Structures are given as structure tokens and as C-alpha cells.
Amino acid sequence: QITLKESGPTLVKPTQTLTLTCTFSGFSLGDTGVGVGWIRQPPGKALEWLTLIYWDDDKRYSPSLESRLTLTKDTSKNQVVLSMTNMDPVDTGTYYCAHFVTMTILGEGYFDPWGQGTLVTVSS
């Protein structure tokens, strides 16, 4: 059974850097074809894909946020760490990590399952 859980601060100040950790079990990021992605959802709004890391350490970033995002993995700890710089109130929302299943030759796919999410509020 695959499970994921996000952890990190619930409140950050504008301009600060947000660091979130995704701790997972039931799979290894050392296994071929595996990935972990991050998706966020502002309150009452749509889901927005942020970033993705593959088993081979290849990464994908949302073009609109790429300059602010850093993604790393620790295979031995079964963790993925997301950093987002220069936080702004518009970044307030629930941040999810999810197990990624590759479906296309370009490395795209779907997310299953998802972590429970963590609500991050950006406010001074």
C-alpha cells in the first residue's frame, strides 16, 4: 500500500522560503518509472501542478513557477523536499504530494495516490 504525507510550516511570511517534505512508503524512488509530484490548490480553486521528480533524478517544473522552485529527493529516507522561494499571499493553499505513474514517452502521467495535503498560509 502506497502512502504519502506532507509536512512543513502552516504559516509563512511574505518573501520567506517555504520548505515542505513529502515522506512516503510502499514504493521506492529508486525503482524505474517512479516519480513524486507536487500539486497545490488555493482555497476554493483549481488544482495546479507544480513540479515532479523521477527515479533517475530528472525533474520537471511548472514554467510559471520554475524560477522559485527546487525539488530534491532522499531515496534512503523515502523523502522528497520542495522549496519555494519568495512566498506571497497568493501562494496560500493546500499543498499535496502524490505518487506519479509515468504513462507517455515524454514522461507524463497521472497521480495516484495523493497525500492528505498540508494547508500553507502566507501572511505577515
CA distance 8 to 71: 15
Which of residues 44 and 124 has its CB atom nearest to another protein in the complex?
44
Within 13 Å and on the Cβ side, how many CA atoms surround 27?
20
Which of residues 1 and 76 has its CB atom nearest to another protein in the complex?
1
Q: At residue 101, what is the residue type?
A: V
Q: How far is the CB of 108 from another protein (least distance, A)?
A: 4
Chain center to CA of 107: 17
Which of residues 16 and 48 has its CB atom nearest to another protein in the complex?
48
Give the residues lining the site for another protein (CB under 8 A).
39, 45-49, 60, 62-63, 96, 98, 101, 103-104, 106, 108-117
Which among 29, 115, 18 is positioned nearest to 80, based on CA atoms? 29
